Structure 1
Amino acid sequence: MNATLGPGVLVHQLLGAFFLPPLNVILLVLLGLWLRRRHPRAGSVVVALALGLSYALATPQMAMWLNRSLERFPLVALSQVRETGAIVVLGGGKKPAPEYGRNEPSADTLMRLRYAAYLARHSGRPVLVSGGAPLGGEAEAPVMARTLVSDYGVQPRWVEQGSDTTFDNARLSAQLLKADGVRSITLVSQGWHLARAVPLFEEQGLKVLPAPTGLVRYDGGGVMWYLPSGRAMQETHAALREWVGRLYYAVRERGTALLRSVSHLKS
């Protein structure tokens, strides 16, 4: 199925392609090889830097370091969750699952759903699932709701399926919640994601209790944390993607403020 990407989603995808591994490392290697034609020493340094970066980004130590720079919120207590009006769980992707004959939550989304279900069962708070279809096809929220019901026995009260970005998650979820008089929420997502998501929900006038899950940790230690692995590559990629996303939003906000200032001066 061919998806029609919106401008915002397309920008996110392009930024991710050029500024995140593996393409950023490949481009750095190509730059080094090009430099070696006229400046052999400088070109060799750039190639070596790219190879070293590729190795470092595949280690558990780098994965933990990058993610801990984003995991700013402490774990929540059930007593805190009971004081909020609802549990909001954000979508983190879906994937085709031929063995089930339908879409299923991605690994990140499933981790969030499991924790949200745990909090809901032990607190009695209603659940809102939020996630659209930025890449086309079925929206994430119905997939999330189906999984909550079938796997965890939790029926969401609200299903928000029009969002393409975290900003949309906040805006559209707030509309549903406020319509039912909910002004405070427990917000469930990965620790690295909440650093950006919490302020967006607070800007919508909601009191937010961050509930991080999926914190990046590894067993063992010592030399084991410096051996490259596929899991570490994935987790460093997620952290770097979040930093790129935060940079994008910061630049967008700065540009919007600048345009407003110019418009004000002209008027």
Structure 2
Amino acid sequence: MNYYKRTKENFDNLTTGLKKVGEALLSNPVLFAIYPAKKVAEVLDVSETMVIRFCQAIGFNGYRELQIDVQHSLLSLNPISDDSFENLGNTFENIMNIDAQNILQVSSNVDWEIAEKIVDELVSAKEIKVVGYYHSFSYAHWFSFILNTLLDNTSLYRPETDTGIKRKGKEYCVVIFSYYRYALESIRIAEEAKTNGNTVIIITDSQLSPIVDYGDYVLLIQISRKSILEKGPVTFSILNTLLLHIAKKIGKMDFINPTNKYYIK
């Protein structure tokens, strides 16, 4: 079992301090692959002892054993190197290649079993409300539009007119996008939906996100940098996989290319 699976398996049983180390490992494994335990501790603002304790808590004998496992795992991803971007001669193309690299790295760590369960919940839901504040609003808007086209039961939460989640019961599903810095409004809606007994689906970027505790299903999209621009392509790619699986499940694969709805065919 590699470092990623060990961390995920033991995460809930870790102390708050050890969780901080685990979260850093999941989102930025390169840090652990390159630097010694002392440097990692400095970057994370924890003690070196805590970094070593974390290694032992997830089943490694020490930091060096963890580091070797991380290095081997990263090598198996065959990432595109930054040096290769410099030789492309087109900065636009460079950026797209970086996005592609991020998508490949994140896809290898997404819990696809959770994604499958989310697909099942969305397909069986009586009504779906999609929530996203600030930069997460674009994800919520796009996802709700396509999802409603498929299921005809989805709406976007509009902060300027909506006054909370009113429906009660598990058959009503609330999907919430919550990315760093984690809008308080999203957390309040998640809490309200949980109180209503709704099925709560959280899409976030950290296991330590304050909204995680309210989710029945939590899909983590972890990326080493907190850049909004880098999270966008990864998020939309994962949402695309969810929507394609939903389309297949309900027999609407023709929705992918609905030429009969447009003037130009």
Would you say same fold, with TM above 0.5?
A: no
TM-score range, shorter chain: 0.3 to 0.5
**Higher RCO (CA < 8 A, seq sep 6+):** 1
TM-score under structure 1 length normalisation? 0.33
